[in-house]
Structure 1
Amino acid sequence: MKKILLFLLLSTPILAQKVFTNWPKKADPITVGKRTAERFMAVPHSRYGVTFPNPPATQITYPDVCTWLGSLGFAKKTNDKDLQARLQAKTALLLKEEANLQPKKNHVDNFVFGAIPLAVYLENRNEELKTLGMAYADEEFKTLSPEEYTSLKPEVRNWYAAGLSWVTRFWMDDMYMITAVQAKAYEVTKNRKYLDRASYEMVAYLDTLQNKDGLFYHAPDVPFYWGRGDGWLAAGMADLLKVLPKDNPHRPRIMRGYLDMMGVLLKHQDKQGMWHQLINDPNAWPETSCTGMFTYAFIVGVKKGWLDEKTYGTAARKAWIKLQDYINENGDLTEICEGTNKKNDHQYYLDRKRITGDLHGQGPLLWCVNALLE
């Protein structure tokens, strides 16, 4: 009996050791992470993912936040003090010299910005950063004045009355944007109200948007499985489940939504390890940002024991290695779908531009690195 118990205890780490180690040189997580983080430090703030100096950015946008958080996580996990210091200095600029780049607190995509100062506060305990970040987390679920309440669209008033954020809109992206800042607020304060908010919101989105097959249309009136749209939810659920206490009443529903989605995604991974611009269309082009997001969700699930290691770990490994073939000599990921609004047109999604170096793709690369280094 003792030998059997010992085998059971040791078998899981051994399998994970095989799946997530012994990487080909090109796929070494530390090498990829360092290159991607340094690339982020070398480029100007983006305009919704696209980095170019002119015209300059007018605010910090959510693709920057994704890559910023990934870079911070990588620097911390590898104890890269120099990179940590430079990232902290980059963040400090947002308090004074670049305060004009703080996004307005008027849109769900803007509120995720608060996760950056909160993440850096956890490293250096700068109270100004805490104040800045918490202002975004709290404003997202603020009590509305009568004037603000009546200015909302009727459906949003109903959602707000039900306890959801006043910026609720039932777009898939929101379940990363809301989760990231609220989870960081919990990490800073240890006040469970921030996780209660995020988990309640997540359940509302799952109940409203998730189809019976486990995937999500880009919008209720746009019946297409756009890769990156589903990627936001995959990553958001994985991130929330990582920090959500086991006694949270919403955890079982979120876990069910996550597992249902992961099972369907596994079926749609192509033989090379990629996912496509339209998930269920094998003729659509392999797209790297959604592949990074789905790979991240798989890695987290395997590491946490939610997903079968042999099945999902092997799939994640294949995807991670294949993604490296899409990185050019500058350290930029290629074949990233440009920023995309919804449209009830199949060809519209196939014709979207394929961008190189866009932070919608660079960020998920770093998420994968950090998950592999856990």
Structure 2
Amino acid sequence: MKTSSFLQGMAVAAMLLFAGDVRAQSGALSKFPKGATPQEIGQRIANRFVASPHPNFGRPRPPRVITYPETCAWYGSLTFAKESGNKTLLQQLAARFEPLLGSRDTLIPVPDHVDYTVFGSVPLELYQQTKDSRYLAIGKRFADKQWGPPEGKRVTDDSRRFYAKGYTWQTRLWIDDMFMITAVQSQATRATGDRSYIDKAANEMVFYLDSLQKPNGLFYHAPNAPFFWGRGNGWMAAGMSELLRSVPKDNPNRSRILKAYQAMMASLLKYQAEDGMWRQLIDDPRSWPETSCTGMFTYAMITGVKNGWLDKKVYGPAARKAWLKLITYINEDGDISDVCEGTNMKNDHQYYLDRKRLTGDMHGQAPLLWCATALLRK
């Protein structure tokens, strides 16, 4: 009798666990406990951004112009404002831009490098939400310059060679580029309806895939930096996600990009730690859990599940686990810790392991906003 009761109890417990697991899978990206919802987290991080210095790069001496980490956090704040329906936040983010239209226009970078050209994604998003033509003019100038004739002090023989082959003259074959280029070009298509922008970006993406993706689905930082650096791969994951969200279905490169994206996501699933995080060097268990790459991979998986590119029963729980762990790194000021500092490219394994861990750096703040936005998207 006791044995029978015990077995019945175990069967009931198993059924409850199974039911709970099914519910977790079905609501993996839609049901979060209080304090962990995308609305709450997104608002905290966006508020932190609004209150941050301008320009900002997390250093004692501010940069001369707006740099890409601030651009990425600004873009994320804007998309979060849109998906959360927060008109007050939109007004605050537009007010942050207003000085750039007047006395502080020198803070706008010159679009002569991928890290500067991505700035165009911000005015293009402001235009889409406000229809103010001043933003469109600035954003288009940045997107157009990326494929315009090479000019300025950054032009090299490689620049001219890539341009002659139909690629942007800002090509340098660092995986970071595949967010910087795709973000502004995708935004230009969304703002104007002109698909030539995103078609060129898709062609560029395939060039990078052919050059840098490895058989395991991950990417070396560059041809002469054979390491699976976390945030570098994060830029690629986020860049493919941004591109696939808007690239037309009849684009001849779409299937190639989707296949590469799915191969990368499958590989990332294998390297995800039990607690949900990914590491500074993805395949090196000695390296530390890093928040900016974890945020970017989480964004890519959420986007894939929401758009049907990934199996929701597999990737939904993985993205949920990553999100719930990631937000534990946020302190009471709204700053996330364990963000890899800005990183150059170097053929030195130890160089990547030794990068400083920063708190509140925009490289880490931005992906939190992207994730919050993606979780709110229908």
Q: Please report the TM-score for the alignment, with normalisation by the length of structure 1.
A: 0.92
CA positional deviation for 1:151: 8.5
CA positional deviation for 1:71: 0.6
Q: Tell me what 1:140 maps to.
A: 146
- Does residue 1:109 correspond to 2:115, yes or no? yes
3-state SS of the aligned residue for 1:25? coil
CA positional deviation for 1:89: 1.2
Q: Tell me what 1:223 maps to.
A: 226
Cα pair distance change 1:157/1:57, threshold 3 Å? closer
> Of the candidates 77, 80, 83, which is equivalent to residue 83 of structure 2?
77
CA positional deviation for 1:153: 3.1
Q: Deviations over 1:213-249 (max 9, x none)?
A: 1111111111111100000000000110000111001
Contact 2:73–2:369 (CA under 8 A) maintained in structure 1: yes
CA positional deviation for 1:27: 1.5
- Does residue 1:58 correspond to 2:48, yes or no? no
Q: Tell me what 2:9 maps to.
A: none
CA positional deviation for 1:123: 1.7
Distance in 1 between residues matched to 2:215 and 2:227, nearest whole Å: 14
- In our comparison, the structure showing a higher alpha carbon Rg is 2
Structure 2 counterpart of 1:296, one-letter code: Y
CA positional deviation for 1:149: 10
Distance in 2 between residues matched to 1:253 and 1:23, nearest whole Å: 34
Contact 1:15–1:309 (CA under 8 A) maintained in structure 2: no
Q: Tell me what 1:193 maps to.
A: 196
Distance in 2 between residues matched to 1:60 and 1:208, nearest whole Å: 30
CA positional deviation for 1:23: 1.1
Distance in 2 between residues matched to 1:296 and 1:149, nearest whole Å: 35
Structure 2 counterpart of 1:179, one-letter code: T
Q: Tell me what 1:292 maps to.
A: 295
Contact 1:15–1:310 (CA under 8 A) maintained in structure 2: no
3-state SS of the aligned residue for 2:35? helix
Q: Which portions of structure 1, spanning 4 or more consecutive aligned residues, are displaced by more than 2 angstroms?
A: 13-17, 54-57, 148-158
Tell me the percent identity.
53
Structure 1 counterpart of 2:29, one-letter code: F
Structure 1 counterpart of 2:49, one-letter code: F
CA positional deviation for 1:143: 3.1
3-state SS of the aligned residue for 1:27? coil
Contact 2:73–2:362 (CA under 8 A) maintained in structure 1: yes
Contact 1:91–1:116 (CA under 8 A) maintained in structure 2: no
With 174-183 and 341-350 compared, the bigger mean Cα shift is at 341-350
Contact 1:226–1:277 (CA under 8 A) maintained in structure 2: yes
Q: Tell me what 1:10 maps to.
A: none
Distance in 2 between residues matched to 1:319 and 1:171, nearest whole Å: 26
> Of the candidates 35, 53, 68, which is equivalent to residue 44 of structure 1?
53
- Does residue 1:271 correspond to 2:239, yes or no? no
Structure 1 counterpart of 2:256, one-letter code: R
Distance in 1 between residues matched to 2:248 and 2:212, nearest whole Å: 24
- Does residue 1:97 correspond to 2:103, yes or no? yes
Q: Please report the TM-score for the alignment, with normalisation by the length of structure 2.
A: 0.91
> Of the candidates 78, 81, 92, which is equivalent to residue 86 of structure 1?
92
- Does residue 1:246 correspond to 2:249, yes or no? yes
CA positional deviation for 1:212: 1.2
- Does residue 1:25 correspond to 2:34, yes or no? yes
Cα pair distance change 1:235/1:150, threshold 3 Å? closer
How many equivalent residue pairs? 356
Q: Tell me what 2:361 maps to.
A: 358
> Of the candidates 165, 169, 173, which is equivalent to residue 168 of structure 2?
165
Distance in 2 between residues matched to 1:17 and 1:30, nearest whole Å: 20
Q: Tell me what 2:8 maps to.
A: none
Contact 1:45–1:57 (CA under 8 A) maintained in structure 2: no
Unmatched runs of 5 consecutive residues or more in structure 2: 1-21
Unmatched runs of 5 consecutive residues or more in structure 1: 1-12
Structure 1 counterpart of 2:100, one-letter code: L
Q: Tell me what 1:129 maps to.
A: 135
3-state SS of the aligned residue for 1:91? helix
Distance in 2 between residues matched to 1:14 and 1:161, nearest whole Å: 54
